[in-house]
């Protein structure tokens, strides 16, 4: 494990402790970022820890709640989600995580995703494989999408005029063993990387939702592209991640999304 990975992991553990201790708090303070999107005091407390630690490195930080600004393509920077699955957290649903990624020259090179309640730590460095609690992980080996379990999500800004994913959901449901909507994109990607899910797709995401998970999937033998099959890189908000056999047949079931 590199020194940078160890530093990111230690910082993530401190933030994860805050989330674990805060889960289920009575009188939880909730703010609405949009009609369906919440933020809690624990999003911000977790982010404060991560910002304080990661700001000690030479690289700037993009974090969801307080510094979501963009970076130039050649810049090295951190992309941080202090609490992915805030709605789950706020409603007492025990499925959420924090995500940390280091982006270099337009690609994630290091990632950490921590599930505070299950005490699962997904770690990855480019070229060194993906790990769950220190053990190597791999994507699933299933070949037929009819035998698979896949996951997806829906955008907060749903309206009849937007790309709502409902048509995709209906078509994919009829072609797979099962489909899940868990509410934490980073964990959906982590679950693809360790074979719990065979595939995952979603749109309207942010870099901090995807970056660590994208690298986890790729380093565990999977594929991660845009919904069209075009290469994924920061700046786009859609992701299709899967084991290799599922990728093309699943892509054919999805509506065209931002083909440019």
pLDDT value for 159: 62
Residues 6+ apart with CB under 8 A from 188: 151, 152, 153, 182, 197, 200, 202, 213
Residues of the chain with pLDDT below 50 are 34, 260
Q: Token pair of 13, please? A: 């553990």
Q: Token pair of 50, please? A: 């991560």
Of the residues 117, 136, 155, the one at which a domain ends: 136
Count of residues making up the chain: 260
Q: What is the tens place of the pLDDT at every residue in 23-62? A: 988 766 656 554 555 678 999 999 999 999 999 999 999 9
Query: Both 130 and 158 in a single domain?
Result: no
Phi first, then psi: give them for residue 170, nearest 5 degrees. -65, -45
Phi first, then psi: give them for residue 30, nearest 5 degrees. -120, 135
Query: Both 28 and 66 in a single domain?
Result: yes
| CATH code for position 76 | 3.30.540.10
Would residue 92 count as lying in a domain? yes
Query: Both 9 and 129 in a single domain?
Result: yes
Would residue 22 count as lying in a domain? yes
Structural domain harbouring 205 = 145-253
Query: Both 83 and 175 in a single domain?
Result: no
pLDDT value for 26: 73
Instruction: Give the integer Cα–Cα distance in Å for 150 and 199.
Output: 5
- The answer to whether 195 and 205 have CB atoms below 8 angstroms apart is no
Q: How many domains does the chain have?
A: 2
pLDDT value for 258: 75
Q: What is the tens place of the pLDDT at every residue in 152-183? A: 999 876 566 678 899 999 999 999 999 999 99
Query: Both 153 and 117 in a single domain?
Result: no
Query: Both 127 and 153 in a single domain?
Result: no
pLDDT value for 162: 72
pLDDT value for 204: 92
């Amino acid at each position: 494990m590199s020194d940078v990975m160890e530093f990111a992991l230690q910082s993530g553990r401190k933030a994860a402790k805050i989330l674990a201790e805060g889960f289920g708090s009575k009188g939880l303070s909730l703010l609405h970022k949009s009609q369906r999107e919440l933020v809690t005091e624990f999003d911000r407390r977790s982010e404060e820890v991560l910002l304080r630690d990661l700001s000690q490195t030479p690289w700037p930080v993009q974090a969801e709640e307080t510094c979501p600004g963009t970076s130039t393509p050649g810049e090295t920077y951190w992309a941080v989600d202090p609490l992915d699955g805030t709605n789950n957290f706020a409603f007492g649903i025990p499925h959420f995580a924090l995500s940390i990624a280091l982006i270099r020259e337009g690609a994630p090179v290091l990632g950490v995703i921590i599930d505070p309640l299950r005490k699962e730590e997904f770690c990855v460095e480019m070229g060194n494989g993906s790990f769950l609690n220190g053990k190597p992980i791999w994507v699933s080996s299933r070949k037929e999408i009819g035998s698979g379990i896949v996951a997806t999500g829906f955008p907060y800004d749903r309206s009849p005029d937007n790309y709502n994913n409902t048509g995709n959901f209906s078509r994919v449901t009829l072609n797979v063993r099962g489909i899940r909507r868990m509410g934490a994109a980073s964990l959906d990607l982590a679950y693809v990387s360790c074979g719990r899910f065979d595939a995952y797709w979603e749109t309207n995401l942010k870099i901090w939702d995807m970056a660590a998970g994208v690298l986890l999937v790729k380093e565990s033998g999977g594929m991660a592209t845009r919904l069209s099959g075009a290469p994924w890189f920061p700046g786009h908000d859609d992701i299709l991640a899967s084991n290799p056999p599922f990728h093309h047949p699943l892509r054919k079931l999805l509506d065209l999304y931002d083909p440019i």
